[in-house]
Chains A and B, each alone.
Chain A
Amino acid sequence: MSGDNTAIEKDRAVTHNTYFLKRTPGDWVFTIINGLIFTVFTLLCTFPIYYLFINTISDNRLVQQGLINLYPVGIHFENYISLLSVGELINAAFISVSRTVVGTLVMVLASAFVGYLVTQQKMLGRKLIYRFIIITMYFNAGLIPWFLNIMMLGLTNNFWGYIIPGIVAPFNIILVKTYIESLPKELEESAFIDGAGYFTVFRSIILPLSKPILATIAVFGAVGHWNSFVDSIILMGSEPRLYTLQHRLYMYLNMATNLSNLMDSTGNISERDLAAALNGRITSLTVAMVSIVPILMVYPFMQRFFQKGLMMGAVKG
């Protein structure tokens, strides 16, 4: 699959070069303006993250006055170190990491297994079962019934409330099923002839062969888990020990916005509130930076997988 892609890329590169053999002045103008527009948009996408970063490592007094805008001044890393002493943040980071690791692992294994099972022609009511699972993508009962249902099942204020509702992911099941159907049937059949059971075939043939697609859904699943915060807000309301990092960040940002509002509207604000507002700004930015880093770390992997994943997603299940 990836071989095909690179072949296409090379092909395109060649064609483009050939039709740039005779360059007219108009071509040059077009290329420059076009390139310029894309450069600006790319900067627009990346500068904010850079801006966030330089504000967390610069001299805090300058940051509080809003004077760090283009490059860092007085580089230090104390903001990051001081986060380590905030118990609720360490706890939140632990929850975020746990739910990402456990949730992704369970989801990937379940998608692989279900995706494999629905390719088995012998299953009782196979088509019906597959439709029964897939159709859940297209309807939902709505936020409130969903919440009351989770509460009824005892998963509110419970760590498993992050994990269990996400185990069966219909879209990922489609991806895995489509992928497994593209694998040669002979391997599986010969294993069955040798007397292997369904579990053995799944573990020793299907799992190793579908690594590429499993890696794709794992990366996307992990990013989804890391980024989700609405479930933490809605489901874990009265259990602060289960708040995720993004939920904490949301609370800090709200607090910082409210204090800044107080400052703007009344003009006179107590010294303590002012200090709190400005410290809140730095804390929020630092926590935001900490939450972005894992995404940027898995980003190269996503780059490798996403095109492939998307192409396969375009193929209907």
Chain B
Amino acid sequence: MDKTIKIKSNDMPMIIFRLFLVFAFLSAFIAAFNPARLSELINSSMSLFTYALSYSTIANNFIRALNQGWIEQTPLTMLYIGSLVCALSLALVAASFCLSLGNIKMKRLGVKFSFGAALLGLSGTLVLRIAYSLFQNSPNPGRIEPVFPVGIWVYAVMFTVIAAFSILLYIKLPKAAADEEYSLEPKYRLFLMILPFLVLVVLFAYLPLAGWRYAFFDYTPGHPLTWDNFVGFKWFQFLFNNPAQRAQIVRVLTNTFALSGIGLATSWLPMVFAIFLSELRSTKFKRTVQTLTTIPNYISWVLVYGIAFAIFSTEGFFNWFLVNTGIVEHGTNHLLSGSNMWLKMWAWGTWKGLGWGAIIYIASISSIDQQLYEAAMVDGAGRFKRMWHITVPGLLPTFFVLLLLGISNVLSNGLDQYLVFENHANRSTIEVLDLYIYNLGLTGNGNIPLSTLIGMLKSAISVILLFSANRLSKFVRGETIV
């Protein structure tokens, strides 16, 4: 055969082939391509991967149908076997992807693998197709609500293409030399070692971005996302045009900006804490203060609330103190009052974070050149002069970086603190953006599209703020912060 028409190891067909394999593997984790969702009774937001995990995951969707005799065991077993076979073939696909990076001998093995995987996958898809027919012919199809998943077509086409590609590549790839051994170049070997972690990053950090599409649909959990309930910018308009909704957003944003604003306005506190702590004489005392004031940072917000409950509820220390000093007659539960919520939340945040926040400044102070202090003393500078003219300028770069990061986080107050302190009495003044998204989307009836939309706008604005802060830092200090 003519050598010129042979496919070399990294030619275009090989690259396209690999892309196909990657797509096929990832499709196992994407609910929209799930070929095994054969009935409306199955939760639409599950991927093939979850079906193959266990039979009970599938059977749980049909407990009632099985009991009522609407469906028999066989179609469900076939559904499970079909999913399992498809999942196994996708594991083989992943293996053949890895092999396709090796030398010619390895590539040829990989192509054999992918051909086997494609055949296995096609038979799995066929099993699912038969299971679908059984679903249709079940004793009570009206109750089972069979649906034909688009995933069956996707998988059939995908596996056919892979099979065809495998045959083509097997013919076109040059034969390996008789004495050639399986080998993989170091650059590919290292790449394959890190690949599983990259898959995790894709699954847990990048794939959620696809969830932004919910903002454009009338979506309720458990129901499929189809083009029928595509609503375009309906939720955008709702967010900005509906007066009640607008009032909500204004209230939540007021809380958010107020709390972030108080935090930013007092962000110099840790620096002052560190400066004055370093002025203390006894090293032992300094150590003790530093150790004990960082403890609150390590306990969770639930525990902080537990402490707040112990001290500020009706039987707590605070009431005991007030009653005993004659300030009030009867104690009340201070956690159930909605007054001064912003200040209270700031106070708890400071209680938890002040000692911890000071550590970075304490570390920076110890790196300031001692000779500066000595020189200043010789020149007759007093304690406060030294603090103001040497220590503070030494800490300002750190302060500046943290301030910029704080500004870029102005919309993200976090969820934990406000979730634990929230109750019916203080909801209107404690609900920050993060808590509002949680309450809106995951409690009660759960408005998924609207809460997704608000979260999406929040993420976008936060990223813009972060990059602006980065730019500003580069402009002012000539150094980036991220």
Contact surface of A with B, Cβ cutoff 8 Å: 8-9, 11-13, 15-16, 19-20, 27, 30-31, 34-35, 37-39, 41-42, 44-46, 48-49, 51-52, 55, 63-67, 69, 110, 113-114, 117-118, 120, 122-126, 129, 132-133, 136, 138-149, 151-154, 164-165, 167-168, 198, 223, 226-230, 233-234, 246, 249-250, 253, 256-257, 260-261, 263-264, 278, 281, 284-285, 287-288, 291-292, 295-296, 299, 302-303, 306-307, 310-311, 314
Contacts and interface: CB of A to CB of B under 8 A. Distances in A.
Interface centre among B277, B302, B355 (most CB of A within 10 A): B302
Kindly list the 7 A-B residue pairs having the minimum CB-CB distance in the complex, ordered from nearest.
A145-B211, A142-B455, A154-B50, A66-B315, A227-B300, A288-B306, A141-B208
B187 A143 contact: no
B430 interface: no
Contact of A15 (B210, B336, B360, B374): B374
A138 B306 contact: no
B441 interface: yes
B123 interface: no
Contacts of B252: none
B292 A12 contact: no
Given A132-B198, A144-B448, A45 B281 contact: no
Nearest to A226: B300
Interface of B: 29-31, 45-47, 49-50, 53, 57, 186-191, 193-194, 197-198, 200-201, 203-212, 214, 221, 276-281, 283, 285, 288-289, 291-296, 298-303, 305-307, 309-311, 313-317, 319-321, 331-333, 335-336, 351, 354-355, 359-360, 363, 366-367, 370, 373-374, 377, 383, 415-416, 419-420, 423, 425, 434, 437-438, 441-442, 448, 451-452, 455-456, 458-459, 462-463, 466, 482
B442 A234 contact: yes
A152 B31 contact: yes
Nearest to A145: B211
A164 B293 contact: no
A120 B205 CA distance: 24
A113 B197 CA distance: 10
Contacts of B57: 154
Contacts of B49: 153-154
5 contacts: A52-B307, A132-B201, A164-B204, A256-B309, A314-B363
Given A16-B281, A144-B214, A148-B214, A153 B320 contact: no
A26 B307 CA distance: 39
B299 A165 contact: no
Contacts of A64: 315
B289 A42 contact: yes
B419 A230 contact: yes
Contact of B292 (A45, A138, A284, A311): A45
A229 B304 CA distance: 13
Given A145-B452, A153-B47, A292 B373 contact: no
Interface centre among A9, A129, A149 (most CB of B within 10 A): A149
Contact of B190 (A122, A141, A145, A292): A122
A199 B466 CA distance: 38
Contact of B313 (A30, A37, A257): A257
